[in-house]
Amino acid sequence: MDLIDTHCHIDAATFDADRDAVLDHCQALGVRRLVVPGYVARHWDRLFAVCDAHPGLFPAPGLHPMYTAGHRRGELGRLERLLAEREVVAIGEIGLDYFIDDPDYAAQQHYLEAQIAIAKAAGLPLLLHIRKAQDLVTKALRDAHFPHGGIAHAFNGSLQQAQKLTELGFKIAAGGALTFDGAKRIGRMIRALPLADLVLETDAPDIPPQGHQGQRNSPENLPLVLQALARVRGESAAEVARITTANAEAVLGLGSM
């Protein structure tokens, strides 16, 4: 198999002790490429250092909506300059998170709209983080006439909300949540969407799959997500692997990488 983990924080400090071994095992399992999102500017240097040191890792720097209190307006300019200096596959992860306690709505909206504009100017797709704000993110994308699509990470909205994003060129990521026996609502949404709209992710070290609760999640678990997706859809794992990899390559421009 040739699988792509479209959302994996392999640069996190929790992997410092065994990152090489994890990535070697990923290759043996068929997890050949990993997209590594950023979330705060102070970690972008580490993000690029890890990606530079390991073939098959692709950086996607961005400013995460959960950490707006620590963001600085000048970091948007730094992101623009970074895109002129380095090759990246997306801007991410960005979005709106209204699930957290006491969200700063204005700041989140500001960073979302600014990063949509930066990605549009650079011709790059987006990695979206959305909680309790699906319609507002879709509206921001429509208002910006954003043409480059991307991936909705850990999506937990409705089928109708997912379809509005796929109409804008976004793929919906299936991750660890789908592996749980009780994930009926997510399963129904994933089953109703065309396979052409789906990709795979782990969000490691977060959102471990069923049977790994309380453990560090790893991109090594991506085949478990693949198996869950194939089971939910009643399709062969080989076909699901082939199509989801092609989808990720297309939306992120990874076809020649």
**169-218 pLDDT tens trace:** 999 999 999 999 989 999 999 999 999 999 999 999 999 999 999 999 99
Please give the domain boundaries of the chain with CATH numbers for all domains. 3-252 (3.20.20.140)
Instruction: Report strand pairing: 31-37 vs 150-153.
Output: unpaired
Cα-based angle 113, 168, 239 (whole degrees, multiple of 5): 130
Beta-bridge partners for 170: 150
Q: Does the pLDDT value for residue 82 go beyond 60?
A: yes
Say which residue the tokens 């678990």 belong to.
Answer: 221
Q: Residues of 148-176 as b/e, b for ≥16 C-beta within 10 angstroms? A: bbbbbbbbbbeeebbbbbbebbbbbbbbb
**Structure tokens that stand for 117 in this block:** 């504009």
Kindly indicate the confidence band of residue 257, based on its pLDDT and cuts at 50, 70 and 90.
low
**29-75 pLDDT tens trace:** 999 999 999 999 999 999 999 999 999 999 999 999 999 999 998 99
| CA gap 102, 160 in Å, rounded | 27
Q: Supply the mean pLDDT for the chain.
A: 97
Q: Does the pLDDT value for residue 150 go beyond 60?
A: yes
**104-146 pLDDT tens trace:** 999 999 999 999 999 999 999 999 999 999 999 999 999 999 9
- Is pTM beyond 0.75 here? yes
- DSSP of 227-254: HHHHHHHT--HHHHHHHHHHHHHHHHT-
Say which residue the tokens 């076909």 belong to.
Answer: 239
User: Can you tell me the mean pLDDT for 152-173?
Assistant: 97
Q: Residues of 48-62 as b/e, b for ≥16 C-beta within 10 angstroms? A: bebbeebeebbbbbb
Q: Which pLDDT value is given to residue 1?
A: 82
